A = this chain, B = another copy of it.
Amino acid sequence: MEKSKITKAALSRLPQYLAYLHELSGQEVPYVSATKIASVLSLGEVLVRKDLNAVCGKGKPKRGYNTIELMRCIEACLGQRSATPAVLVGAGRLGKALMEYDEFERYGVRILAAFDSNEQILRPHRNMEVLPMTQFGEFCRAHDVKIGIITVGEGSAQTVCDQMIENGIEAIWNFAPCRLKVPENIVFHQENLAISLAYLNNRLLNRKIEGEQS
């Protein structure tokens, strides 16, 4: 089973599968086929078959997947059996918007706390503490934090990134619009919200060009 081959698009569908499997297990349905799942969720059958194969191998001929086993595989893939502890640095507007985002836990990540160097904004937000940067290292080590989310400005992003790595964080999600130097052993994702918008715009513009040509 080659778990690492799961694509972002496939990952995005896993919570849907899981919700339906929870329903089935509530109804004590022991087996379920990719065909059935595809039909209920209005997805392509080939796609669903490929996704399930990637997370749980092939199902049994004719019967399909054991409902409970498939649930466990998807949960493991999403890291839901034990949510990965994360922290966020930079409790400005974007940071707070992310703290309000309820979807992360469904995908196996729990943001434990936010940090900020600005002492003016150290008030809890949505049941989450906003702590001073002076407590950052101790907190990360005490809670074995593995994921760090950077929502500070360009100017301090590299410093924050370095502090994260020094304190045992192994995966970093950077929202600051700048390149960061990150050692190779760190899992890194550079977020750029403008790209989604640029892609949308590009599809819109191309449609116009096609319309003018036809």
Contact = CB atoms under 8 A, between A and B. Distances in A.
Interface of A: 3-4, 6, 8, 11-12, 77-79, 84, 86, 92-94, 96-98, 100-104, 106-109, 146-147, 149, 170-171, 173, 177, 187, 189, 191-207, 209-210
A192 B201 CA distance: 18
Nearest to A146: B204
A30 B116 CA distance: 48
Contacts of A109: 194, 197-198, 201
Given A194-B106, A196-B173, A201 B97 contact: no
Contacts of A149: 197
A72 to B, nearest CB: 14
A193 B98 contact: yes
A170 B204 contact: yes
21 contacts: A3-B206, A4-B206, A6-B202, A8-B195, A79-B202, A86-B197, A93-B94, A93-B96, A93-B97, A93-B100, A94-B97, A97-B97, A101-B177, A103-B177, A104-B197, A106-B194, A107-B195, A108-B198, A109-B194, A171-B201, A171-B203
